[in-house]
A and B are shown apart, each in its own frame.
Chain A
Amino acid sequence: MIQMMSAQEKKVHPYKFNMWLAIAGMIMMFAGLTSAYIVKRSQPGWESFTLPGIFSVSTGLILISSLTIQVALKSFKAHHMGKYRLFFALTLLLGVVFITLQIMGFYRFNELGMKMTGIGSNPAYSFVLAIAGLHILHVTGGIVALLVIFLKSFSRKKRNYDSMPVEIVATYWHFVDILWLYIFVFFHLLH
């Protein structure tokens, strides 16, 4: 029995594995959207665009947030709870600011006369809204997960040093970060 258990422990934790599988699914979703974008781009009626500068700022922020969550994870594993909470909170904050900047970016699109929705909208801009908007939803999911884990770390009843939830949420956070980087570069190269 003990041998059996240790044999099982060598394998990837099933929850972690689930996370990787879920990431595969999400990649397919965005692959579907960006393929649709490529197909659409080659058809008549496409209006090309440049992303407003505000998106570069948000890209920088989300890249930094990947670093902060990594520092938080390391501190958690070393049981430096103060440092862990600080960097975790920093990640949360960066996430919220990122989303705000993204939404401001959408408004910037409209201000520049590139309508994303309604009469006179062009699929090119609508695609930016759909793809980046869906990405925002994924970041929001990450923020909710961060928040839950963050609040749990203040619980007085349970002292929990299981790093699994933090590791999983960090993996997810890196994923949404890289995903945005992909989308950002994608919009720049194929506009």
Chain B
Amino acid sequence: MSNEAVIQPGVAALDVHGHAGVGHHHESFITKYLFSQDHKMIAKQYMITGMVWAVIGGLMSVLFRIQLGFPDATLPWLEDIFGHWAKGGRISPEFYYALITMHGTILIFFVLTAGLTGTFANFLIPLQLGARDMASPFMNMLSYWFFVLSSIIMLSSLFVQTGPAAGGWTVYPPLSALGEASIGSKIGMDLWLISMAIFVVSQLLAGLNYVSTILNMRTKGMTMTRMPLTIWGVFFTAALGLLSFPVLFSGFILLLFDRHLGTSFYLSDLVVAGNVLPNEGGSAILYQHLFWFLGHPEVYIIILPTMGIVSEIMSVNARKPIFGYTAMVASLFAIAVLSFLVWAHHMFVSGMNPFLGSIFVLLTLLIAVPSSIKVFNWLTTLWRGSIRLTPAMLFSIGFVSMFISGGLTGIWVGNATIDMHVHDTYFNIAHFHLVMGVAAFMGMFAGIYHWFPKMYGRQMNNTMGYIHFWATLVLAYVIFWPMHYEGLAGMPRRYYDYSIWESFKQFAELNKVISTAAILVFLAQVLFLCNFFYSIWKGRKVTNKNPWDANTLEWTTPINPGHGNWPGEIPEVHRWPYDYGKDGVDFIPQTEPVTKEESGY
């Protein structure tokens, strides 16, 4: 199928020669901004929906950090806003559990999965591969609207009387399976499951399209080995999602059965509030296996796209070819494969056979190898480059910093012997927030600053970008560095109030510092949002098609490309995307034919 037929079914593909108006088919407000099938608009829709979710999820963390940092404070305004959830100006325990549960759910699934991949996979796959649009623009649109539907359901669960799901973002049974066990396991839990089921459908539709477009719609000359690393990143992400989300779906179906059909997949020999339940023969650990079979690939679903983004931005702004392109692709592949073989390292304390545990330890520690290869390659890409410290570049370097800091503790918690001690403590919280939370956000910010000119034809404000970067970097460390010490001292996660514990009283001041930093870092993100939305309409206009002097195809399109991306023919590709500083030439775009005088690869 030709690229033209994809965006304009029924229109002959041959009349585009020399036309400036390819893809300028009639667009009303609704088809352009709402039910758009243009991958660039869908990417922006994903991005802005993700931003809305990030604000909600981030605000939740501010609220529960207020409770953790200032457990004795009474803030009447909390009661004004949240009513009985914050009686007397203090966040109630039920509200606290709902907040931490929804914070995890929203940030992991709605922001860092849908928001992140949805933005960059949709935006970059056709632009960087030389395609007019996705393999199926209609399915692409459908995937976004399924995401909106699941968002609305999740959002509505915040407003039901018994509140949203509140059993932790992993919603382990039996707590999540029994409505009578907790207020957070009532209707809010059902809405959570339904919303997530629809979310899985949305991600599958999106993932199908990504893989199929990358494999089938590349322009002439764009062999797989000439693809930018961003595309490799989203390719493996989509493959992971396609193979792991359905398993989560299975787990949810069984959970719904247990909740509403009286089955006992996960339930056995339980007593709730003095009542003996009739359920027998189930196993709660079964859910954990099904959950983490997605759950572990999920963290790579979050981090792989940002690895690609960071590689690309680093090479462009260090004016050097990426170090070890093949090793980068191979390590992405290795991470993708290993991610399916390590899920049980989340379950070392579940009573697992220690021999089985040791196998999972080995496989888990193996992931350190490809991860280190990647870090080594990023550092060697920077080595002796003529670095341009744009905000995007700073965030890319920040990504590597976070990835190292969080990755090193991964070796600790990957060891069953150490994990037994720090499992479900703040050590773990610090580990995963650094390595896949803050790091992924850094990569996402890098991507937004870097491709903003392509998205809106304007530049974002640099000064605000620098403030945003340094505030985020410093405050993220202020938040998560001390948590390592708290965790090693045994402070468990998800507790409502530590001040009543003799052993954790000593951290009261530290918790205040962390909470203050959390509030400040949230404000820094508000600054970013102001910059972002201001720049869409008022930013400095881009005058050059290729503002970063980059090699990849997206910078050969007009400054504000229409649906169809290239006004004439799609350019042909003659070389890999990382010819920076080759033979003394600053950069050679992928569309330049290889000359005879050029040195070989």
Residues of A within 8 A of B (CB): 1-2, 4-5, 7-9, 11-15, 17-18, 21-22, 24-26, 28-33, 36, 39-40, 43-46, 116-123, 126-127, 129-130, 134
Q: Is B283's CB under 8 angstroms from A43's CB? A: yes
**CB contact under 8 A between A116 and B263, given known A4-B220, A40-B283, A122-B281:** yes
Residue on B with the closest CB to A29? B246
9 contacts between A and B (CB under 8 A): A1-B569, A17-B135, A25-B245, A29-B246, A29-B250, A43-B281, A119-B262, A119-B278, A130-B263
Interface of B is mostly: helix
Interface of A is mostly: helix
Partner of B14, one of A1, A26, A129: A1
6 closest pairs, A vs B, by CB?
A: A45-B281, A14-B135, A29-B246, A32-B247, A32-B250, A126-B263
Residues of B within 8 A of A (CB): 1-3, 6, 13-14, 16-17, 135-136, 139, 204, 207-209, 211-213, 215-217, 219-220, 242-247, 249-251, 253-254, 257, 261-265, 268, 278, 280-283, 286, 289-290, 293, 569-570
Q: A2-B14, A39-B286 are in contact. List 20 more A-B contacts (CB 8 A).
A: A1-B13, A1-B569, A7-B220, A8-B217, A14-B1, A17-B212, A24-B243, A29-B246, A31-B247, A32-B290, A36-B254, A36-B286, A39-B289, A40-B283, A44-B281, A45-B280, A122-B264, A126-B261, A130-B257, A134-B253
The CA-CA distance from A17 to B215 in the complex, in Å, is 9
Q: Which of B1, B261, B289, B569 has the most CB of A within 10 A?
A: B1
Q: B3 to chain A: which residues have CB within 8 Å? A: 8
Residue on B with the closest CB to A46? B281
Q: A118 to chain B: which residues have CB within 8 Å? A: 261-262
The CA-CA distance from A121 to B251 in the complex, in Å, is 19
Q: B569 to chain A: which residues have CB within 8 Å? A: 1, 4
Residue on A with the closest CB to B211? A21
Q: Is B264's CB under 8 angstroms from A123's CB? A: yes
Partner of A21, one of B17, B208, B244, B263: B208
The CA-CA distance from A30 to B286 in the complex, in Å, is 15
Q: A28 to chain B: which residues have CB within 8 Å? A: 242-244, 246-247
Q: Is B243's CB under 8 angstroms from A14's CB? A: no
Q: A8 to chain B: which residues have CB within 8 Å? A: 1-3, 216-217
Q: Is A14's CB under 8 angstroms from B247's CB? A: no
Q: Is A32's CB under 8 angstroms from B220's CB? A: no
Q: A116 to chain B: which residues have CB within 8 Å? A: 263
